[in-house]
Structure 1
């Protein structure tokens, strides 16, 4: 984990924990911090959805950035770690 954290820092990756997505519109992710109920807006150039244990389908036709599902919410049978990793690997190669 320390190597990943160092890589995140090197590439200015922001992490949003305790955050619930409310809407994705015009390439902006609107969310709420569940601890203090503050609003969060994240402008995205790529969106990778790895949320939930099943696919959360929404109208992504208005997005102009790449969008993909990975892990359990990809719709593939990902009950095992190898399948989940495969969907993440495929998504990363497509970005």
Structure 2
């Protein structure tokens, strides 16, 4: 059964990702979605099995990109950051982008 995070946790993570890490979201969507030419992406949600991004295509349309967590299912708030960072690092590797250091 998929773990569902509390609405406040989801809202906080989405606010942070979409406010501070929109470029990371775009890299993740490009690396794991069916297209490499997305022009923008926002994190739309997540649960214990993975995250979901809405990626904008060049024609103005959007599509959902669902990506499973690299280390498998999670059920604790601190694990969300770990998994998003792992997705970012994997996206950079797939796309040949130098990742920035994590603090």
Same fold (TM over 0.5): no
* Higher Rg of the two aligned structures: 1
TM-score, length-scaled by structure 1? 0.34
TM-score, length-scaled by structure 2? 0.32
Q: Counting helix residues as a fraction of each chain, which structure ranks higher?
A: 2
